[in-house]
Amino acid sequence: MKTKPIKPPAGSVSEAAEWQLRLYVAGQTAKSIAALNNLKQLCETHLAGRYAIEVIDLLVNPQLAAGDQILAVPMLVRKFPEPIRKIIGDLSNEERVLVGLDVQPLRPGVV
């Protein structure tokens, strides 16, 4: 897959990570940059070391849009663990993202 995997921060497991997330964006728009930043921050906070993020730019790989049923961007897809979950938007609302991903917040107090 011709994607540009963003290396997760050091210490995390890149292969067979517990959380495999894929972020679909369309070019370097403000929304996509915001979404990626929000996602990174959220993962570092709650899923440190247990996640892998793959960013797919649909402008580069338009054929992937149909295959993965992408409609709205930015879209975050939880490929693993099953079942697949989809979150659209710039992921600015951390609580909803966590609910959407079904992630238990590590520090209940934060949320």
- Summarize as ranges the residues that interact with another protein (CB under 8 A): 24, 26-27, 29, 31, 34-35, 58-59, 62-63, 65-66, 69-75, 84-93, 96-97, 99-100
Smallest distance, another protein to C-beta of residue 111, A: 14
The conformation of residue 58, written as its DSSP 8-state character, comes to: T
Nearer to another protein, 52 or 75 (CB): 75
Q: Which of 58, 62, 50 is nearest to 9 (CA)?
A: 50
Nearer to another protein, 35 or 52 (CB): 35
Q: How far apart are CA 83 and CA 69, in angstroms?
A: 15
Nearer to another protein, 52 or 98 (CB): 98
13 touches 50 (CB < 8 A): yes
Tokens of 45: 């906070």
